[in-house]
Structure 1
């Protein structure tokens, strides 16, 4: 990861990946995007257009499907691979790209929802190549093929997976360079020595608002300021804090308070799970609520709020089929 411009592959150039990709391209870095269907065709024909806070970013980076990526590119063509696809697609994408990715030693950064994506990537490529990460205070969605709308501060937190206990961890050099590149591209970035802790803190928010927003159709601000729904949000967040003990993360009541106040003060955004439901796409329910329920089961404790909301969403989904 040397030189002024990086060669970056973004796997899954949807709302989040499209925004960060456009920022990096605008800063002079070389991008290749992967997408599919009409979104891919539109990017290939007209480029990617990203609307953010009254600003329009236009990215003319090449876009390909996975089969074309494998045929036309080598892993060594890239300095960094960023996964920004839905967590529901991680296993399938690793089946499609795993052997290709294994041919080199390029770092792979996950900027996905949930706490299990890095586990899957590390299992395929080894922990030494895996950078965990999360997108903070950003909402991003495809509004129509080739067009993305994003909002929020759009910060990033990154770190070696699952943590970096050693001062001589070679990933520190990569992460230091990455922070400089992202900061210069108007992507505020923080490096964490315990990225698994950061991912669990984000899961506290995601489990608190994503499933309930998909169930009710309400945005995050409406949920967190509603006299009844706000209590359910807080309850689901508290259950996530308890579930973190199963991974040895041990979040505290302070983490719960901080995450609850953060989402209450954030913009009124339509969650990604609500958008997926409206568009008839698979929900990241297993990656978010499922992760909490599985850990609670291992700990022998109940998570009634998460269990009920998750069950209602599944029943609702089955009735639409």
Structure 2
């Protein structure tokens, strides 16, 4: 077992956490990663984590252990597990969080709310990530494309620790952004994420779905429903990587959504990660997705505002039917969503 001196603890060494950990370790930072897959942890510790793909190819030894073998406390904990594993991960990691430390959520969804409730708002920091990566086996991660990486405090204030973490993240993504409105990016990702869940109803690539004129009405409709809820929450989502929130605001010209979908098709056509992680969960790894914690969370918040979101509600149902073996990934399944699109 590797020595546990890491000043940065990365909980979850998959596509997101593993890739960040490899870059941080290569830059000379003291890192300890944690993963539930023992074979993966052993491979990362030696001979090393192999990063593959068009962005860069290299191998980096990164100390990695399973959860029961973590000791000591850490000032920085990067949480990079699936959203539905957040609570369990927090139960295991919080005893290892220093009193003046913080947890950074490098996840999809609004997990910062859960972390703040469990760890305290002052010990929670937000992040938005949109780079393309896949865990392809023990000790192997595909880095398909670079994408937006944004960091910010959940209270909107920029503190010395925020600046420090921003500089640290630039060792992974040189074009990382420091923001005073992380919620704007997180809600933008919820809208884009809903569209990605839509693309995962079929075996077609992300770019194919975004380019297909027959599917655009439903995909744009999903984003519009999320935007209505974001507006009710007082959030003004920010654009990134071809996703333009303004194109999906109520009353926006349809041509704006068409232009945004063109951009999304182009962006996703340039990556070696042709399908979303949602697709891999459903079709390759045969495991449950984050649909309840992402799309379902928006449906829940919409209900509190009295907002009807039929497409998002139907999308959650369809994903669960795939998870339960009642539907296949197919054009017919997407048609079941498209059938109720306005």
> Fold-level match, TM-score > 0.5?
yes
Listed as ranges, the matches of 1:48-67 within 5 Å are 48-53=49-54, 55-67=56-68
Q: Which of 238, 243, 246 is the equivalent residue of 1:254?
A: 246
Cα 1:157–1:28 shift into 2, 3 Å: same
Q: Is the 8 A contact 1:242 1:250 kept in 2?
A: no
Q: Which has the higher helix share?
A: 1
- Aligned equivalents of 1:173, 1:260: Cα separation in 2: 38
Partner of 1:24: 24
Listed as ranges, the matches of 1:103-122 within 5 Å are 103-115=98-110, 117-122=111-116
Q: Which of 183, 207, 212 is the equivalent residue of 2:198?
A: 212
Listed as ranges, the matches of 1:1-321 within 5 Å are 7-37=7-37, 38-53=39-54, 55-69=56-70, 72=71, 74-75=72-73, 78-101=74-97, 103-115=98-110, 117-136=111-130, 138-164=131-157, 171-209=158-196, 211-251=197-237, 254=246, 256=248, 260=261, 262-268=263-269, 269-278=274-283, 279-319=285-325
Quote the RMSD (CA, aligned, Å).
Answer: 2.2
Where 1:149 maps in the other structure, the secondary structure is: strand
**Deviation readout 1:262-282 (Å, 9 max, x if unpaired):** 523312331111111121122
Gaps of 5+ in 2: 1-5, 239-244, 249-255, 328-342
Where 1:133 maps in the other structure, the secondary structure is: strand
Partner of 2:337: none
Comparing 251-260 with 20-29, greater Cα deviation is found at: 251-260
- Aligned equivalents of 2:7, 2:95: Cα separation in 1: 20
**TM-score (normalised: structure 1):** 0.86
